[in-house]
Chain A
Amino acid sequence: MVFGPQFNWINSNKFFSTKLIILILGAVGVNLFIFFIFGSYSFLTNLIFISSIFLIFYSLIELKKVLQKKIKFNLPRIISHLGFGMLVLFIGINHQYSLEDDFNLKVGDEKKFSHYEIFFDDIKLKEETNYKAVIGNFRVKNIKNDTTQSLNPEIRIYANPETLTYEAAIKTRISSDLYLTMSNISRSDFYNIKFQNKPFMIWIWISALTIVLGGFLQLLNRRNEN
């Protein structure tokens, strides 16, 4: 994705430039920074991260060039390739550094996990046209930065057809998603709680949508060409 677009059809003279070597070194540097922040190591992850960061850097430089020269021809391809680089990077980070725990709590209980404290405050009942719901009221405190988020997972009881469904409570932030679900344990006051912290979740969607944006821009380009 980086090398291909640089070449001409049939034959090209250039192959490796100093700029590309600097970009690869830059990607290695950012990769080391990611491991410094998250503190984990795997050879394959390194390789994936370096390649995707390299692609992102290169696409951003190309994007700047195209926008400055106002050449629309390459824009869709650059946007899609940028989106692909971001997608691989954020899926990699998300996969590698997600936190997850499964535990049982009853109303009034609290649980400490990693740098989070989870408080199960109470439950409420809600009635909609097609279902009834038991809504849990949870507070999730991040001990590191002393912030608290409120999360409300649901257990829905549908009458037609008679079914129980479990709805996740998701708090989406720029850096990570807090994901909490609860399910009832029969003949017990306890609920089974699943808590996850998923880094850069929203960026996975943004990256994927960036890929598609490139496709739609290319369609518009083709319409103008025609």
Chain B
Amino acid sequence: MLNNTGHLLIFLVMFLSLTIIYKSYLELKINSQKISNSIYQLSLFQCTFAISSFLVLIVAFINSDFSLINVYENSHSAKPLFYKIAGAWGNHEGSLLLWINILVIFSYFFLIFNFNHLKKFRLLTLIIQNLLILGFVIFLLKNSNPFSALEPVPSEGLGLNPILQDPALAIHPPLLYLGFVGCSIYFSAAMASMLANYRGKSFALSIKSWVLISWCFQTLGIIVGSIWAYYELGWGGFWFWDPVENASLLPWFAITALMHSVMVLEKRDNLYSWVIILCLLTFILSVTGTFLVRSGILNSVHTFASDPARGIYILIFLSLMILSSLVIFFKFYKKENYSFNFKSKETFILINNWFMTFFLVTVFIGTLYPIFLDVLTDVKISVGPP
């Protein structure tokens, strides 16, 4: 029964995504500053259904409902209740559902809290965010369904990987996801800003809090992961120059640079294009990290859910994201005049951004260079910490 309920809720989330995109598109043509109540209601329903689907999965884990493949493969009736609950997001399928939940929640919150911004900008943000939601829901239903049923129902599950049976599992993934998936909202807002020509201080004010929220959760998630890796034997200590650890650090550098440069946009109405690049880059790097880890391209002690078939879907999705953001960026790009006095705050913020970019590029090359070298020349090397 739970698998049907779960499927129904996921389909409703998908249907609502399509409806929100359609209604928002129609709403763009109406000359009024107010967004109609129906869009708010649809977003609220979408949020409720997404959260409910996740609660259904948690209930399935608590009840050890082995009629679901996901529960059978990742749980066991003898497992303590705490790990049964945390186990719901301790696997690929469950974590993807959590990912969708965060996309949906941020979409709704952006709609209700940014009420004083341009209607066209908000609607376009909503449309792009729902395209992202749609993409991930299709991925979930097609390839990573947490509600897939199993027949005949086994009497016992295979159990959760003991390494993951740790209190940190309860908080580390949700915190990281809030941070990484939270970046999606200003990815969407950045695209919408270019399309709606909503630039400068107004755009900076619309994303500033969201950047800060995702930065806080990203940092906190990385710290909790670091503490976990410190006491978990075999994970090499609190920082190991491990590909997964590095993949989590890449968006952090971008978001830290963004958090600083968005101040220049707010106070001086400058660095708009650079802020847009950072908004796009942060979420693209988050999805890139997910692709590298889930596809099995990067071998890591922290990889628990790799599958090349999933990797292809994420790669296609990632390519579409990069391509569409590049097309929109270059189509709507306007030349800016960057002339800062050396003895000014903005110059030092720019220096901060150079450092962050340098660190990002160093870690990126250090993490991916061995893979490219292996593919192109068949030479295997490893790159250590700088």
Contact = CB atoms under 8 A, between A and B. Distances in A.
B163 A161 contact: no
A219 B159 contact: no
B209 A212 contact: no
A145 interface: no
Given A131-B162, A159-B78, A216-B216, 8 more contacts: A9-B345, A15-B343, A130-B76, A130-B83, A168-B233, A181-B233, A212-B223, A215-B219
Interface residues of A, number: 41
7 contacts: A9-B267, A158-B162, A160-B156, A165-B163, A208-B223, A209-B223, A219-B209
Given A7-B343, A8-B345, A161 B219 contact: no
A212 B352 CA distance: 18
A13 interface: yes
Nearest to B226: A208
A186 interface: no
Contacts of A211: 219
B231 to A, nearest CB: 5
Nearest to A208: B223
A130 B233 contact: no
B231 A170 contact: yes
B79 interface: yes
Given A181-B233, A208-B226, A161 B158 contact: yes
B348 interface: yes
Chain A: interface secondary structure? mixed
A160 B344 contact: no
Contacts of A168: 231-233
B267 to A, nearest CB: 5
B349 interface: yes
B344 A9 contact: yes
A209 B233 CA distance: 23
Nearest to A182: B233
B233 A11 contact: no
B233 A166 contact: yes
Contacts of A183: 233
B349 A4 contact: yes
Contact of A7 (B83, B344, B352): B344
A219 B216 CA distance: 9
Contacts of B227: 205
Interface string B339-351: 0010111111101
Main secondary structure of the interface of B (DSSP, over half): helix
**Cβ-closest 9 pairs across A and B:** A4-B348, A160-B159, A215-B216, A158-B162, A160-B76, A166-B233, A208-B223, A11-B341, A7-B345
A12 B343 contact: yes
Interface string B342-372: 0111111101100000000000000000000
Contacts of A218: 212
Nearest to A222: B209
A7 B348 contact: yes
B129 to A, nearest CB: 21
B341 A10 contact: yes
A161 B216 contact: no
Interface string A97-136: 0000000000000000000000000000000011100000
A15 B348 CA distance: 12
Contact of B268 (A10, A205, A215): A10
A3 B351 CA distance: 11
A5 interface: yes
Interface string A190-204: 000000000001001
A156 B80 contact: no
Interface string B151-174: 000001111011101000000000
B78 A160 contact: yes
B215 interface: yes
Nearest to B351: A4
A54 to B, nearest CB: 15
Contacts of B234: 166
Contact of B345 (A4, A130, A216): A4
B213 interface: yes
A133 to B, nearest CB: 11
Contacts of A12: 343-345
Nearest to A84: B256
Interface in A137-179: 156, 158-161, 163, 165-168, 170
Contacts of A209: 223
| Interface-central residue, A170, A215, A216, by most chain B CB under 10 Å | A215
Nearest to B264: A9
Nearest to A153: B233
A159 B343 CA distance: 65
Contacts of B231: 167-168, 170
Nearest to B233: A166
B220 interface: yes
A219 B345 contact: no
